[in-house]
Amino acid sequence: MSTTFQLDTATSRANPTPAPMKRLTVPAIQRRKVEGKTEEPLVMLTAYTARQAQILDPHCDILLVGDSLGQVIYGLPSTLPVTLDMMIAHGAAVVRGSYHSVVVVDLPFGSYEQSPEQAFATASRVMAETGCAAVKLEGGAVMAETIEFLSRRGIPVMAHVGLTPQAVNALGGYAARGRSQEEHAKILADGAAVAEAGAFAVVVEGVIEEIAIALTQSVEIPTIGIGGSARCDGQVLVTEDMLGMFERVPRFVKRYADLAGMISDTVAKYAEEVRARTFPGPEQTYQPK
């Protein structure tokens, strides 16, 4: 039986506890799409810490340790400066904090593009040091050889086509892709190429909706939309975006809460009590017996 790590309220330390269910597998994710259709869409969110993984895990099929952590956690201007050590540290934390979801870790920019051999060295280290089930890399047809190389050597790969943030400098920004016929055709060709190469699923980001629908209908593997279409086989969002942690979010994000506002209001209350010397009170201090 697998284990999950829960925070002990007495010590604030993670302690292994028997898991109430078996962890999903990559083949189980693939089997959700039958004869081109997925009856129950796949639920995927980003996670970067053990505690976050604990909270998200019961509700998700896939947890993505995205290189978006560069912006969300570290305040970097893009995903490009993210290092392999960052991804491994956060990937290991998310695996420790989950017991149900398939954990997928992004390969950071510059760690896999040079050759299939470079990609294998990076991916094998990520899997060995985090315990994750799969890796994700960006790129379509140009990465097909690498995807096939990894897949044949036992490393499950999730692909990523359409708007690929690691290529933001080449793309000229984060605008939706597929507005021209040429780009439309390229995205469909990229999706077909990664599926044929052995990717078990493909993220379709920031594309015109008809492209996301056409790609979903044309490939046998699940498509995970982010700025795609509700008709994709699943959806993913950056968790902090959908929880309302940031003022500015992409068009495709639905903010399900205003967590930043809640945190600010709570901290304001704490600050008020500290300055008024009403915290800590009798309940939070130790008295002689």
What is the domain partition of the chain in residue ranges?
A: 22-241
| Residue 171: pLDDT band with limits 50, 70, 90 | confident
Q: Can you give the pLDDT at residue 17?
A: 56
Say if residue 162 is exposed, middle or buried (CB neighbours under 10 Å; 0-12, 13-18, 19+): buried
pLDDT, tens only, 209-241: 999 999 999 999 999 999 999 999 999 999 999
138 has binding-site annotation: yes
Pair of tokens at residue 14: 């993670």
* Average pLDDT score over the chain: 92
- For residues 152-170, average pLDDT: 91
Write out the catalytic residue numbers: 205
Separation CA 149–CA 163 (nearest Å): 24
Given a contact cutoff of 8 angstroms between Cβ atoms, the answer to whether 183 and 177 are in contact is yes
Q: Which ranges of the chain does DSSP label H, i.e. alpha helix?
A: 26-31, 50-56, 69-72, 84-96, 116-130, 144-152, 168-171, 181-197, 209-218, 239-242, 259-275
Q: Can you give the pLDDT at residue 21?
A: 67
| Residue 22: pLDDT band with limits 50, 70, 90 | confident
Radius of gyration of the chain from its Cα atoms, rounded to whole angstroms: 21
- For residues 178-197, average pLDDT: 95
- For residues 247-259, average pLDDT: 94
Question: Quick one: what percent of the chain has pLDDT higher than 90?
Answer: 85
Which residues contact residue 221 at a Cβ distance below 8 angstroms, ignoring those fewer than 6 apart?
A: 30, 33, 195, 199, 200, 201, 202
Separation CA 147–CA 141 (nearest Å): 10
Q: Are strands 102-106 and 234-237 parallel, antiparallel or unpaired?
A: unpaired
Record the pTM: 0.92
CATH architecture entry for 22-241: Alpha-Beta Barrel (3.20)
113 has binding-site annotation: no
68 has binding-site annotation: yes
Q: Are strands 33-34 and 37-38 parallel, antiparallel or unpaired?
A: antiparallel
**CA 245 to mean position of chain CA atoms:** 17
| Residue 1: pLDDT band with limits 50, 70, 90 | very low
> What sign has the CA pseudo-torsion 233, 46, 192, 170?
positive
φ, ψ at 245 (rounded to 5°): -85, -15
- For residues 39-50, average pLDDT: 97
| Residue 289: pLDDT band with limits 50, 70, 90 | confident
Q: Can you give the pLDDT at residue 19?
A: 57
190 has binding-site annotation: no
Q: Would you tell me the crossing angle of helices 181-197 and 209-218 to the nearest 10 degrees? A: 30
Q: Who has greater pLDDT, 22 or 59?
A: 59
pLDDT, tens only, 77-131: 999 999 999 999 999 999 999 999 999 999 999 999 999 999 999 999 999 999 9
In DSSP terms, 285 is beta-bridged to none
